[in-house]
Structure 1
Amino acid sequence: MPPSTSILRAHRPFVVRYPGQWVCPSCLTQSRRLHTGTIETSHLQPATAPPPTKQPRPAKSTPKVGGREGTDSKWEVTVGLEIHAQLNAPRKLFSYAATSFNAPPNTRVAPFDASIPGIQPKLNIPTIVPAIRAAVAFDCRINRRSTFDRKHYFYKDQPNGYQITQFYHPFASDGKIVLNELDGLDPSEVVEIGIKQVQMEQDTAKSIFQPSTEDTPARTLVDLNRAGSALVEIITTPSLKSSKHAAACLKKIQSILKASTAAIDGMEKGGVRCDVNVSIQEKGLPGLGRRVEIKNLNSVKAVQESIEAEIKRQIGVRESGGEIEGETRGWDAVRGESRKLRSKEGEVDYRYKPDAELPPLIIDESLVSHIKSTLPPLPDQILLELMNEPFALTLKDARTMVDLDDGARVHYYKAIYEDLSARQDVKQGSKHLGKLIGNWTLHELGGRLASSFIGWLDNQVTAAQMADLLSNLQNGTLTAGNAKRVLDHLVTFNDPTVRVSGLIEEYDLATRSLSEEDDEGLVRIAESIISQYPEKAEQVRSGKKPNLKNFFIGGLMKATGGKVDVQACKKVIEKMFSA
């Protein structure tokens, strides 16, 4: 009997899903042993795995210890991160199967991924390139020679009984990232985080737990689509001192992975997962406290909250006279607490050994040089570019622009700026042009898309349409109010062929030049508005609240349907209150 059979019996029923069906493990084991690939039809069940039910989140998150996670008490906190990111590669690390997030279960599986006996791994060379891009972006040393090792453990999502990784000799090491004001820290804070090593390894399969029902016992379904996908694991040094810094570090690592195109999908799509290692030690004592690992965190918020809760738990144990056990814990986001999964494994438990079926990986310096010279701009470079002339965005807007839509919003913004800058009817060199485009791209357009439930990928309002709109706004053809009305129409139509000039003409939105007769009519409207609010008018005349003039200017613009320029309305109101 294969060794895996007895292990599987020690767990809840282990079920592997073949295309369209769930298959029991005993049948799969017989199929492997006989090398026939056949499956007893009596063991097939329809693939009806209901999605897990989501529990409501608690109203309050776990409170921080001592206001800053114990840093103002006698305890010193140390945190390290282990981040696993699926590489931007079309094939798996050691098999020909395609990578996929959305394919039906067990439709992207090669024999090696399912641990069919006699099948050997073969490294897919293209997977190395995005891994090197990630390591170069983290300022790592690329080791010319690296090797692959086997990390042994038995679990239902690991068909081979071991994972191929790079424990002893990774392909990259000794890197760093720097956290500063651009990452949300205080202006005086600069934190350097060491990257101990970056290594390639296989991903595991995906486990889906099904609770028991009246008809079926509790069971775990396994989808092998993810098994064997190429991962890059980034291991930081234990140099983070708070959950705030850990969250900022994770955000930056994610943004660097995306910007360098090493990994396309982030935590929100399951492409990045994080384990955190937390320890506490009394201040002044040498060394670090005993490390506790929290596994498989899938959001920045979960990382921050789990660290805060773990620090609080460990301080409570130590202050009550107990000792911290080295263990692996899981995070329960609903209860806001971690729970013990197992005692912490060490190197001996995993029985690391070199993989005899895989030769060393030799990386030529010319490849590294080429990747360095062609690396796309990284997040800090993009932020500084957006904050400096000619764009002159605020840090908040620049940060939002970079974070949204995997950087697509930045390209959209720059396309509008380039279009507007080339137009003769636009004030060239305007210090406000970059901020104007940023405001309309992020807030006006972004807000309307969100309220209309239109994702950025489905946005059909083109950069050229936005440039036309803002050109008419800046040259005075449209007032701000009517420009917003035009944008409402563009988002509603969501059609790249709609012309801004056509909307202005069709709805008669163009600003009018005032004749003497119009000027007199504007004065009469202003008099009517002022007479409706005598108390406010008296506060303006007495000088108590001069800013209330803006109230009357807005009322006058609204009364004219937004067709009169704000400066003309302001001139009339100023004249009437100065008389």
Structure 2
Amino acid sequence: MPPQIPKIRARGPFVIPRYSSQWVCPSCLTQSRKLHTEPVKTPNQPSTSPPLAGRSQSVKPTTKSGEKENKNSKWEVTVGLEIHAQLNAPRKLFSYAATSFNAPPNSRVAPFDASIPGIQPKLNIPTIVPAIRAAVAFDCRINRRSTFDRKHYFYKDQPNGYQITQFYHPFASDGKIILNELDGLEPSEVVEIGIKQVQMEQDTAKSIFQPSTEDTPARTLVDLNRTGSALVEIITTPSLKSSKHAATCLKKIQSILKASTAAIDGMEKGGVRCDVNVSIQEKGLPGLGRRVEIKNLNSVKAVQESIEAEIKRQIAVRESGGEIEGETRGWDAVKGESKKLRSKEGEVDYRYKPDAELPPLIIEESLVNHIKSTLPPLPDQIISELMNEPFALTLKDARTMVDLDDGARVGYYRSIYEDLSARQDFKPGSKHLGKLIGNWTLHELGGRLASSFITWLDNPVTTGQMADLLFNLQNGTLTAGNAKRVLDYLVTFNDSNIRVKDLIEEYDLGTRSTSGEDDEGLIKLANHIISEYPEKAEQVRSGKKLNLKNFFIGNLMKATGGKVDVQACKQVIEKIFSA
């Protein structure tokens, strides 16, 4: 039996109650308080015109010299984005069915999702909380009163024949995103992207195309599991002037959604989809050109490439004397071109109208304030923190740490740092601890996982094992080469119970304690290696190529099996050549 859903008055508003100790914490999505059924009087709000992405005042950011699509051109490019992200909610927006990405087809479908006659929508309050978190993260104004509307169109992925959205009065508006050096732009570039509105709406079904076989003709199957899942649609102002900035903006929106826990899965898992609106206009002329929409782009690469192709197409049409038609196009990533799907629909085509079965949504300011005060750190904050003491990572490494694996490496990195910092017998050594951990987390471990086709989610090396490895490396027990051998073992054998200390003892990987200059055996071995390369040795002695000393140091370390540290080997080589 489905869970009981509280009854509401047909005309009374939904009320998101004031935050209190009795109400579920907004970060928890497993419970909800009963809906208030009493009508709430709200101040009269001025009517606003329906939102049309790509038709408001644009900000003119500086474009990096060398942008292919707009360099030395008489055309000005304008791009707006519409991003749809599935919210981190356990149930669908207006039904009790659970959300899922990998459940068997059509196994997460409630009567309302399948459009069974007589079934009415009932709002699930927990879906509102991650939506507010997303809007707050984008610095939006949260509107106390918002309403739901029906967007009518017929397609196989929309059983009701309409989609419930927030066309006229969305719950959030007037936000912004700042792109700067932290996002990979030039130090002098600062681009402000306006967020026109953030609205809640239902997701559609998933269409699965099956090509024809000997026994069956080509057909399209429909999986209703995704139908009715709670989405936020984020509509930017037309303030993007290049495909590079559009791709960077999309990446940042995804990272903000993830960091704020508003959405769990990104574009690679189908949790985020993007439409782009592209127009061109001769420089110096007022207004914007006729916009063309490219639908259902599922990667940052597809967004950038489709915008570049569309700009070239529109310029070719205009320069040949033609006019741009307002239309919706689809992107073929294989051919690298778009094709017309249909003429561009407008408000009249969709027959927008308020949903008579859903009352207004009222959001209390105290709840918004609580969500603001408990919002997790956002990407810019995390990058800045990683670049400052005590971590002191470079901008490149800090950005990589945040971008890879939806930021999962940041927590791994911090756990290792906290572990090592808390050990009383730990010797930090000459290398900066934060940079050392960053190098081994990103490059040494990351490279081994990539070459072994292991995702970060399945990373077999625990934070404790990595901390032990770096502890022995910094304390001089392991050389860098033997530390890499230990890491190879940990990645290969995938056992969280393996102790680094046991590997060092079992395979005799520990370094010998020596001053180098006083070790007769080491000096004898070094002389033997130098005698094998007389030409290189002569170049060092003559002062022509002093950097060849590093060649002999490396060979000496290799000959000792990595059991003598680099400083001792360096002392021996320096002593021999200075004699």
Same fold, TM exceeding 0.5? yes
Counterparts of 1:281 and 1:551 in 2: how far apart (Å)? 60
In the other structure, the counterpart of 2:258 is: 258
Post-superposition shift, 1:70? 2.1
Post-superposition shift, 1:515? 7.8
Counterparts of 2:316 and 2:544 in 1: how far apart (Å)? 58
Query: SS of the residue aligned with 1:233?
Result: strand
Alignment of 1:44-63 (within 5 A): none
In the other structure, the counterpart of 2:151 is: 151
Residue 506 (str. 1) matches residue 506 (str. 2): yes
Q: Retained in 2: the 8 A contact 1:425–1:471?
A: no
Counterparts of 1:561 and 1:429 in 2: how far apart (Å)? 22
Post-superposition shift, 1:428? 5.3
Query: SS of the residue aligned with 2:70?
Result: coil
Would you say how many aligned residue pairs link Structure 1 and Structure 2? 516
In the other structure, the counterpart of 2:318 is: 318
In the other structure, the counterpart of 2:171 is: 171
Return closer, same or farther for 1:82/1:134 CA change in 2, 3 Å cut-off: same
Counterpart residue type for residue 118 of structure 2: G
Aligned-pair RMSD on alpha carbons?
Answer: 1.6
Post-superposition shift, 1:425? 2.6
Return closer, same or farther for 1:346/1:119 CA change in 2, 3 Å cut-off: same
In the other structure, the counterpart of 1:493 is: 493
Post-superposition shift, 1:273? 0.1
Query: SS of the residue aligned with 1:97?
Result: coil
Counterparts of 1:211 and 1:467 in 2: how far apart (Å)? 51
Query: SS of the residue aligned with 1:69?
Result: helix
Q: Retained in 1: the 8 A contact 2:517–2:575?
A: no
Query: SS of the residue aligned with 2:77?
Result: strand
Return closer, same or farther for 1:516/1:407 CA change in 2, 3 Å cut-off: closer
Alignment of 1:545-556 (within 5 A): 545-556=545-556
Per-residue Cα deviation, 1:445-497 (whole angstroms, up to 9, x for no partner)? 11222222322222232111111111111111111111111112222222121
Counterparts of 1:407 and 1:173 in 2: how far apart (Å)? 27
Larger CA deviation: 208-217 vs 329-338: 208-217
Counterparts of 1:460 and 1:71 in 2: how far apart (Å)? 47
Counterpart residue type for residue 302 of structure 1: A
Return closer, same or farther for 1:191/1:121 CA change in 2, 3 Å cut-off: same
In the other structure, the counterpart of 1:532 is: 532
Counterparts of 2:67 and 2:456 in 1: how far apart (Å)? 38
Counterpart residue type for residue 400 of structure 1: T
Post-superposition shift, 1:65? 13
Q: 5+ unaligned residues in a row in structure 1: which ranges?
A: 1-63
Per-residue Cα deviation, 1:86-122 (whole angstroms, up to 9, x for no partner)? 0000000000111111011111101110111100000
Residue 105 (str. 1) matches residue 115 (str. 2): no
Query: SS of the residue aligned with 1:339?
Result: strand
Counterparts of 2:329 and 2:119 in 1: how far apart (Å)? 35
Counterparts of 1:428 and 1:571 in 2: how far apart (Å)? 22
In the other structure, the counterpart of 2:228 is: 228
Larger CA deviation: 429-438 vs 492-501: 429-438
Q: Retained in 1: the 8 A contact 2:553–2:569?
A: yes
Return closer, same or farther for 1:516/1:448 CA change in 2, 3 Å cut-off: closer
Counterparts of 2:182 and 2:282 in 1: how far apart (Å)? 32
Return closer, same or farther for 1:548/1:517 CA change in 2, 3 Å cut-off: closer
In the other structure, the counterpart of 1:437 is: 437
Q: Retained in 2: the 8 A contact 1:523–1:572?
A: yes
In the other structure, the counterpart of 1:186 is: 186
Counterpart residue type for residue 177 of structure 1: I
Counterparts of 1:514 and 1:275 in 2: how far apart (Å)? 64
Counterparts of 2:343 and 2:137 in 1: how far apart (Å)? 35
Q: Retained in 2: the 8 A contact 1:145–1:362?
A: yes
Query: SS of the residue aligned with 1:72?
Result: coil
In the other structure, the counterpart of 2:309 is: 309
In the other structure, the counterpart of 2:138 is: 138
Query: SS of the residue aligned with 1:225?
Result: helix
Larger CA deviation: 506-515 vs 427-436: 427-436
Post-superposition shift, 1:238? 0.3
Larger CA deviation: 484-493 vs 371-380: 484-493
Q: Retained in 2: the 8 A contact 1:65–1:312?
A: no
In the other structure, the counterpart of 1:52 is: none
Post-superposition shift, 1:66? 7.9
Counterparts of 1:302 and 1:532 in 2: how far apart (Å)? 56
Query: SS of the residue aligned with 2:176?
Result: strand
What is the TM-score normalised by the length of structure 2?
0.87
Per-residue Cα deviation, 1:164-190 (whole angstroms, up to 9, x for no partner)? 000000000000000001111111100
Alignment of 1:172-571 (within 5 A): 172-427=172-427, 432-514=432-514, 519-571=519-571
Counterparts of 2:222 and 2:290 in 1: how far apart (Å)? 34
Per-residue Cα deviation, 1:182-203 (whole angstroms, up to 9, x for no partner)? 1111111000000000000000
Counterparts of 2:520 and 2:429 in 1: how far apart (Å)? 37
Q: Retained in 1: the 8 A contact 2:105–2:224?
A: yes
Q: Retained in 2: the 8 A contact 1:479–1:511?
A: yes
Return closer, same or farther for 1:516/1:546 CA change in 2, 3 Å cut-off: closer
Query: SS of the residue aligned with 2:519?
Result: helix
Counterparts of 1:72 and 1:169 in 2: how far apart (Å)? 41
Counterparts of 2:274 and 2:408 in 1: how far apart (Å)? 25
Q: Retained in 2: the 8 A contact 1:66–1:72?
A: no
Counterparts of 1:181 and 1:568 in 2: how far apart (Å)? 42
Post-superposition shift, 1:412? 0.8
Query: SS of the residue aligned with 1:90?
Result: coil
Query: SS of the residue aligned with 1:175?
Result: strand
Counterpart residue type for residue 277 of structure 2: N
Q: Retained in 2: the 8 A contact 1:199–1:232?
A: yes
Residue 68 (str. 1) matches residue 68 (str. 2): yes
Q: Retained in 2: the 8 A contact 1:425–1:475?
A: no
In the other structure, the counterpart of 1:91 is: 91
Counterparts of 2:428 and 2:518 in 1: how far apart (Å)? 32
Q: Retained in 2: the 8 A contact 1:87–1:231?
A: yes
Counterparts of 2:251 and 2:337 in 1: how far apart (Å)? 22
In the other structure, the counterpart of 2:118 is: 118
Counterpart residue type for residue 268 of structure 1: E
Counterparts of 1:513 and 1:430 in 2: how far apart (Å)? 18
Post-superposition shift, 1:377? 0.3
Post-superposition shift, 1:407? 2.0
Post-superposition shift, 1:229? 0.5
Post-superposition shift, 1:235? 0.1
Counterpart residue type for residue 111 of structure 1: P
Return closer, same or farther for 1:339/1:561 CA change in 2, 3 Å cut-off: same
Counterparts of 1:502 and 1:254 in 2: how far apart (Å)? 42
What is the TM-score normalised by the length of structure 1?
0.87
Q: Retained in 2: the 8 A contact 1:140–1:175?
A: yes
Counterparts of 2:252 and 2:65 in 1: how far apart (Å)? 25
Q: Retained in 2: the 8 A contact 1:65–1:308?
A: no
In the other structure, the counterpart of 2:17 is: none
Counterparts of 2:268 and 2:90 in 1: how far apart (Å)? 20
Query: SS of the residue aligned with 1:340?
Result: strand
Query: SS of the residue aligned with 2:331?
Result: strand
Post-superposition shift, 1:430? 6.5
Per-residue Cα deviation, 1:292-325 (whole angstroms, up to 9, x for no partner)? 0000000000000000000000000000000000
Q: Retained in 2: the 8 A contact 1:415–1:463?
A: yes
Larger CA deviation: 241-250 vs 493-502: 493-502
Post-superposition shift, 1:526? 1.1
Post-superposition shift, 1:406? 2.3
Return closer, same or farther for 1:151/1:429 CA change in 2, 3 Å cut-off: farther
Q: Retained in 2: the 8 A contact 1:65–1:311?
A: no
Q: Retained in 2: the 8 A contact 1:482–1:562?
A: yes
